[in-house]
Structures are given as C-alpha cells and as structure tokens.
C-alpha cells in the first residue's frame, strides 16, 4: 500500500530471479543436452559444457530410429512404439475417467441425497473387498508359488489400507456435509499409497491377462484419476446455478437433455482443464506403467528408464532428446484448449 524504499524493491527482484533460475535451470539443461553430441553430454571427459558447442540432432536420431536397437531393452529398437503407447494409453485413460467422473460429479452436485452413514459403509465395503477378495486371491497365488515373498506384499497392503482408512476417516469427520462426505469418500480412493494397490492390481491383471495391454492400462488410469475428475468437475457444476437445469426441465427438456444441452456446454471450460490435468497425470505416470507393461506397451517414462542400464550405460543425450519430445503433447494440448481454460476462469462473470 505504501511505497517501500528502493533497496527493498531491488532485493525483491533479485530474490525472484534466483528462484526463477533455480526452477528453470533443469529445463534448460535438458534442452541443451538434447542437442549436444555424445562427447559433450557424457561425463567421461571431465569438462562441463554449459551450452552445446557443436549442436547436433544425433540424439533424436538415436531414439527415433532402429539401427542402434540392440542397446535397448526388450527388443524395443526405438522409442516410437513407446510414444504411440503413451499417446493411446493416456488419452484412453483420460476419456474413460472423464466419462464416468463427469456423470458422477453431476449426480453429486445436483441430487443432494442425505447419504447419512453411506460413506462409512463405502469405506467398510472397500476394506471388506480388499480383505475378503484380494487377500485370499493373493495368498492363493503365493501358495502356488507364482509370487514369492507374499508376506512382504501382505504387510505392505495391510499397512496401506490401514493408513488410508485412518486418514480418510479423520478427514471425513472434518467434512461434515452430507453430499460432500460421499464425494469425499471417492477422493479417499486416492489415499492409498500407490504401491499398495498397484501390486494387487498387477496380480489380478495377470490373472485376467490384462498385463501389457493398452486396455489394461486404460482401466487402471481411468480408475486412479476418477476421483480427481469427480472433485474438479463437481466444483465446476456447483458453480452453475441449479436453476439453469430446472429452467431447462420446465421448458420441456428431459433430465438428460438438461445435462447435455445446458449444463455440459457451460462446464466446457472446466471439462477442458480437468482433461488437461488428468492427461498430464497419465502422461507422466511411471510406477503403474512399469509394473503393468513388459514388451509391447511400455510408455515413454518406462522407456526412458530403460535408457540407463548396465549393458548400455547412461544414455543422457538420447534421454534428454526423448524428454524434450515427451514435453510436446501436453504443451500442444494445453495450447489447443487454452481458449476454454481462459473461459473456465472467467465463467463466473457471465452468470449473474
């Protein structure tokens, strides 16, 4: 409010510059490394090159073409299949989560049923599901010698469930609204340590022959990001006055008609930003893809991981090049829907 002395302003900008430098340097390093020849990116030689001395596209060639194939794992000779896999799986998972999540969010936002103890039963049911169905399943597989160290898996899973449940209940106590607690118990799904659910899922998936398939990954991504979609979309739907759907119904639309013709077009901005958010989550996932893919459908993060191994050494240059390529889709997607993102932000202004 009042004018500050000059030195304070200078200090403020210096601080800002330092923080900005800290955050942007890794990005810069990745970009510059992608264009450096091997002699510059490898550490063998002892000198650090801050900028590419001899810019080259050699690294891109390495990841995108076949001829150095023998370096890479699992018969994958180039990064192209993994890029395809990433695109299909991320988009598929996003669409799946949006489809079920948006409908669930609309229901939670509009039909305020007094759920009473329902969230409690949902939490209980989840627990029962894990203990009664998953565990015997796992024990059986362990018994048959298909997985070893089953006690390790068991204790991990139990710990995960216990922690999830405790945190979930405590937070749900804090959130007392009837509908919110139902929505909240959906968000609770996210409170499992990922490791705790991914391993059981892996066991199940292998039983159902879903490992290393695109639809197997899409299903997991869809379920994992579903709570985010519900929560984000619910807040967007809450912003839209209820009278709008009611007006549409009174004007002669069916309940579905009101949703598709009036509410959904208004939530376009929200839908776009949710889609971007979920897409980025899926795109950057490493853990789930690592455990659920083997030969045919490894995604970019998994493939990147294979660029460091005892056989081929640390391929920093090709890694940086692929990393740079991997940045492109989210950025392009972001630019494409920017119009809607901005509208999503200014949406409140036209309502009143």
Q: Does residue 12 belong to the site contacting another protein (CB under 8 A)?
A: no
Beta carbon nearer to another protein, 26 or 265? 265
Whether the Cβ atoms of residue 81 and residue 88 lie closer than 8 Å to each other? no
Q: Residues 250, 308, 328, 342: which binds another protein (CB under 8 A)?
A: 250
Task: Decide: is 257 part of the binding site for another protein (CB under 8 A).
Answer: yes
Binding of another protein by 253 (CB under 8 A):
yes
Q: Which of 46, 174, 265, 331 binds another protein (CB under 8 A)?
A: 265
Helix (H) or strand (E) holding 313: strand 313-314
Please identify, using beta-carbon distances, which residue of 12 and 351 lies nearer to another protein: 351
Report the Cα–Cα distance between both ends of the chain, in Å, rounded: 31
* Min dist. Cβ of residue 121 to another protein (A): 20
The residue from 143, 251, 294, 296 that contacts another protein (CB under 8 A) is 251
Q: Considering only residues 106 through 125, tell me which ones interact with another protein, judged by CB under 8 A.
A: 114
CA 306/CA 312 separation, integer angstroms:
9
Q: Does the footprint of another protein cover residue 339 (CB under 8 A)?
A: no
Q: Does 8 bind another protein (CB under 8 A)?
A: no
Gap between the Cα atoms of 125 and 92, Å rounded: 28
User: Is residue 58 within a helix (H) or strand (E), and if so which, with residue range?
Assistant: helix 58-64
Smallest gap from Cβ 327 to another protein, in A, equals 33
- Check: CB of residue 81 under 8 Å from CB of residue 322: no
- Which of 69-77, 80-88, 121-129, 239-247 is the region at the interface with another protein (rule: CB under 8 A)? 239-247
Among 19, 21, 99, 246, indicate the residue that binds another protein (CB under 8 A): 246
* Residues sharing a CB contact under 8 Å with residue 188, sequence separation 6 or more, in sequence order: 123, 164, 168, 171, 172, 227
127, 165 contact by CB (below 8 A): yes
- Strand partners of residue 314: 308
SS3 309: strand
Which positions touch another protein (CB under 8 A)? 1-2, 114, 241, 243-244, 246-254, 257, 262, 265-266, 268, 349-352
């Amino acid at each position: 409010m009042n004018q500050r002395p000059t030195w304070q302003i200078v200090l403020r900008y210096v601080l800002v510059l330092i923080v900005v430098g800290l955050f942007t340097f890794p990005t810069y390093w990745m970009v510059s490394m992608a264009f450096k020849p091997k002699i510059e990116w490898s550490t063998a030689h002892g000198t650090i090159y801050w900028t590419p001395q001899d810019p080259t596209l050699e690294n891109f060639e390495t990841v995108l073409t076949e001829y150095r194939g023998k370096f890479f794992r699992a018969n994958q000779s180039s990064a192209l299949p993994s890029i395809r896999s990433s695109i299909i799986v991320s988009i598929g998972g996003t669409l799946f989560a949006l489809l079920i999540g948006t409908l669930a969010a609309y229901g939670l936002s509009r039909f305020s049923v007094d759920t009473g103890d329902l969230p409690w039963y949902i939490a209980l049911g989840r627990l029962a599901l894990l203990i009664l169905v998953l565990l015997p399943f796992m024990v059986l597989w362990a018994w048959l010698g298909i997985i070893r160290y089953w006690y390790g898996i068991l204790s991990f899973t139990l710990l995960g469930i216990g922690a999830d449940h405790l945190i979930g209940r405590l937070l749900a106590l804090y959130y007392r609204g009837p509908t919110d607690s139902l929505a909240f118990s959906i968000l609770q799904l996210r409170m499992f340590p990922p490791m705790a659910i991914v391993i059981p899922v892996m066991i199940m998936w292998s039983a159902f022959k879903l490992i290393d398939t695109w639809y197997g990954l899409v299903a997991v991504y869809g379920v994992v990001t579903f709570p985010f979609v519900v929560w984000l979309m619910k807040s967007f739907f809450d912003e839209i006055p209820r009278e709008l759907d009611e007006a549409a119904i009174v004007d002669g639309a069916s309940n579905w008609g009101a949703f598709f013709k009036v509410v959904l077009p208004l939530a376009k901005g929200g839908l776009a930003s949710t889609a971007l958010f979920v897409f980025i989550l899926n795109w950057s996932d490493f853990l789930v893809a690592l455990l659920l893919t083997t030969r045919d459908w490894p995604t970019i993060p998994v493939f990147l991981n294979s660029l460091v191994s005892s056989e081929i050494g640390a391929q920093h240059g090709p890694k940086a090049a692929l990393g740079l390529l991997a940045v492109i889709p989210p950025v392009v997607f972001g630019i494409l829907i920017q119009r809607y993102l901005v509208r999503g932000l200014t949406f409140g202004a036209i309502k009143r």
